[in-house]
Amino acid sequence: MPISNTMAKAINAQVGREFGAHFQYLEIASHFHDDGLPQMGAFFDQQAAEEHEHAMRFLQYVRDSGAKVAIPAIPAPKAAYKSSKEAVALALKWEQEVTAHINDLVDLAIKENDHATRVMLNWFVTEQVEELDTMGELLQIVERAGEPNMLLVEEHVRRKAAAEFGAGN
């Protein structure tokens, strides 16, 4: 049974948000690469890839559920930042907004007794807990280090990525 038109419209809007996050994180990554902070750039390149994956996961769900995919227009991302803190704070704000939208989708699935969508959304609920934690921690570290000490943040991000890579092997 296909999802409702209301649910399809809401999920298609989320597809657009996820693609918007993808583009925003590419801009943030470029900011860090341009500032000579390749670890931070690589971190946000990876975040961009994850957001693209999320968009595709939602898109495929719409297809699989028999509804029509209708990707909305995606606003241009913010392209200039005064500081590293501003860029990371924007990323955290974005994740907070995405979390609220995921929660709204869960609420809609519950309201519509759409059990399949609710189950699919459980993965995203858990993922957003991780995303909020990651961005919140990174913002704390950037604030603690301050702009003149971003090389310390670079080293932190490098070590954390190396530890996660090593743990995955």
Tokens, residue 130: 């991780």
Quickly state the pLDDT bin for 168 (edges 50, 70, 90). Answer: low
The residue count of the chain comes to: 169
Domain ranges of the chain: 5-167
pTM of the predicted model, to two decimals?
0.93
DSSP structural state of residue 83: S
Fold topology of 5-167: Ferritin (1.20.1260)
CB 75 within 8 A of CB 19: no
Kindly tell me if the per-residue pLDDT of 1 is higher than 70.
Answer: no
Q: Buried b / exposed e across 129-141, counting CB within 10 Å, b at 16+?
A: eebeebbeebbee
Q: State how far the Cα of 87 lies from the Cα of 103, in Å rounded to an integer.
A: 25
